[in-house]
C-alpha cells in the first residue's frame, strides 16, 4: 500500500510539471534561420557557443609531415633468374650475406644446358669446316681451276654458319659458368642477398620468381607518402629530417623527386628523398617519419575546428558578416599541423571567420577537418 502511494505522488508531480510547461522539454540547440543566399542567422541562445576572429597573414616556416619507408633506389636491386629449366644442386648464399660481383650463388643441373653447349660445339665445328672449304675454293680460283658457282656456295655456307655460331654463343653465354649440364649462377653486382627462394633439390624454370635478389645497401633512399593537399608545399631540393625510431638520432636529406601520380585510396604521392652522405645506419624496409621543410612565406592559418568537410570533398568555413549573419565560404586547404590548417584560398585578411562552433551553425556538415 505504501509503494502504491509513492508512485501516485511521483505521477502527480510529473503531471503537474507537464501541465504547467508551455512546450515539451528539449535538448536540441535553438533554431537558426537560413537566408536566400545560404547565410545563417543564429538564435540568440546559440550565440554564446560560437566564436569568430579576424584572420590575417602569418609569417611561418611550414613543414609537411608524412609516413615514410626506406627503399632501394631504382637499379639498386638485381634479380637472378634461371635461363633454362633445371634442378638446384647447391646454394652458396643465405639471406643477409654480403657478396661480390662474380661470386657463385647457385649451382644447377640441366639437360637443356648440356644440349645448348653441344649445339655450340657443333656450330664451332661447322664454322671451321666452312672456313676451310672457302679457303680451298679461293685457292682453286686463283690457280684458274675453280668453279665460280662452287665458290659462291662455299661463301653462302660460311655466312650461314657464322650466324648459327653467334646464336649458339649468345645462348650459351646466358647460361653463365659451368660445363656440360652444370650451370653456375654468379652475382652480377656487389651487394647483400635480400631474398633467397632457391633450395637444394627444387626444380626451377624460366619465368618464375627470382631465385636470388641482391640489393646494393649503399644505394638507398627514403620514400615519403605525402597527401594530395600537402603536395603544393613540397619542392625538389627541400630539406628533410628523417625520424627512424624513438631515441635514435634523426637523419637528414633533400627531396630528390616527386611522383607524378597519386596512389591508393588515401590519395598520396611518393616523394623520393636522397639521404646526406654518411647516413649508413639504415636498412631497406625500415619505417620512418619524414618532416619536409616547405618554402617560408605568409599564409592564413585557422584552427582545424573552423574547417568543415561537406560531401566528402568540399571544405567550408563560415564568415561572420556585418549584420551578424554567417555566410558559408568554400576554401582550399593546405597542410595540417598540430591542430591548425593552412587555408590557400577562399578567405582573405580582414575576414571574420568562425573558429569555434562552426559545426553548430551548419548541422548538415559531415565532420570537422
**pLDDT per residue as tens digits for the range 258-304:** 998 888 778 899 999 998 876 667 888 889 999 998 777 778 889 98
What CATH number should be reported for the domain holding residue 116? Answer: 2.40.50.100
Boundary of a domain, candidates 266, 293, 320: 293
Q: Determine contact, residues 187/103, Cβ cutoff 8 Å.
A: yes
What are the tens digits of pLDDT across the range 329-361? 999 987 777 788 888 899 999 999 999 988 888
- Same-domain status, 307 and 260: no
Domain of 175, in residue numbers: 78-214
What CATH number should be reported for the domain holding residue 363? Answer: 2.40.420.20
Boundary of a domain, candidates 232, 265, 293: 293
- Same-domain status, 164 and 148: yes
| Residue at grid coordinates 681451276 | 145
- Same-domain status, 158 and 285: no
What are the tens digits of pLDDT across the range 38-83? 778 877 878 888 899 999 888 766 788 899 999 999 888 998 887 7
Collapsing DSSP states into helix, strand and coil, what is residue 157?
helix
Q: How many domains does the chain have?
A: 3
Q: In the numeric block, which cell numbers belong to residue 210?
A: 627470382
- Same-domain status, 191 and 142: yes
- Same-domain status, 181 and 158: yes
pLDDT of residue 223: 95
How far, in Å, CA of 127 to CA of 159, rounded?
9
- Same-domain status, 351 and 263: no
Q: Determine contact, residues 86/175, Cβ cutoff 8 Å.
A: no
8 is a domain residue: no
343 is a domain residue: yes
119 is a domain residue: yes
Boundary of a domain, candidates 214, 244, 262: 214
- Same-domain status, 266 and 302: no
How far, in Å, CA of 242 to CA of 223, rounded?
11
Amino acid at each position: 500500500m505504501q509503494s502504491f502511494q509513492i508512485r501516485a505522488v511521483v505521477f502527480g508531480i510529473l503531471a503537474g510539471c507537464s501541465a504547467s510547461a508551455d512546450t515539451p522539454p528539449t535538448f536540441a540547440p535553438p533554431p537558426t534561420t537560413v537566408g536566400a543566399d545560404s547565410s545563417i542567422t543564429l538564435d540568440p541562445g546559440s550565440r554564446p557557443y560560437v566564436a569568430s576572429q579576424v584572420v590575417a597573414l602569418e609569417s611561418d616556416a611550414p613543414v609537411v609531415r608524412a609516413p615514410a619507408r626506406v627503399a632501394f633506389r631504382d637499379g639498386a636491386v638485381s634479380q637472378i633468374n634461371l635461363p633454362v629449366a633445371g634442378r638446384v644442386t647447391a646454394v652458396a648464399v643465405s639471406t643477409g650475406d654480403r657478396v661480390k660481383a662474380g661470386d657463385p650463388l647457385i649451382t644447377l643441373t640441366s639437360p637443356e644446358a648440356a644440349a645448348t653447349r653441344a649445339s655450340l660445339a657443333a656450330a664451332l665445328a661447322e664454322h671451321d669446316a666452312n672456313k676451310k672449304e672457302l679457303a680451298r675454293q679461293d685457292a682453286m680460283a686463283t690457280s684458274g681451276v675453280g668453279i665460280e658457282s662452287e665458290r659462291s656456295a662455299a661463301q653462302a655456307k660460311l655466312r650461314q654458319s657464322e650466324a648459327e655460331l653467334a646464336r649458339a654463343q649468345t645462348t650459351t653465354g646466358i647460361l653463365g659458368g659451368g660445363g656440360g649440364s652444370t650451370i653456375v649462377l654468379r652475382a652480377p653486382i656487389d651487394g647483400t642477398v635480400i631474398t633467397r627462394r632457391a633450395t637444394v633439390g627444387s626444380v626451377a624454370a624460366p619465368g618464375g620468381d627470382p631465385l636470388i635478389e641482391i640489393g646494393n645497401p649503399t644505394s638507398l633512399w627514403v620514400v615519403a607518402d605525402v597527401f594530395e593537399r600537402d603536395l603544393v608545399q613540397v619542392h625538389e631540393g627541400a630539406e628533410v629530417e628523417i625520424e627512424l625510431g624513438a631515441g635514435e638520432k634523426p637523419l637528414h636529406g633533400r627531396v630528390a623527386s616527386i611522383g607524378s601520380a597519386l596512389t591508393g585510396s588515401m590519395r598520396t604521392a611518393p616523394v623520393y628523398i636522397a639521404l646526406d652522405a654518411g647516413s649508413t645506419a639504415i636498412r631497406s624496409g625500415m619505417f620512418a617519419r619524414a618532416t619536409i621543410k616547405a618554402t617560408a612565406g605568409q599564409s592564413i592559418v585557422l584552427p582545424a575546428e573552423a574547417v568543415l568537410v561537406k560531401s566528402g570533398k568540399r571544405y567550408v568555413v563560415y564568415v561572420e558578416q556585418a549584420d551578424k549573419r554567417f555566410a558559408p565560404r568554400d576554401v582550399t586547404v593546405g597542410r595540417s599541423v598540430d591542430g591548425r590548417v593552412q587555408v590557400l584560398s577562399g578567405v582573405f585578411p580582414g575576414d571574420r571567420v568562425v573558429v569555434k562552433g562552426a559545426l553548430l551553425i551548419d548541422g548538415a556538415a559531415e565532420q570537422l577537418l
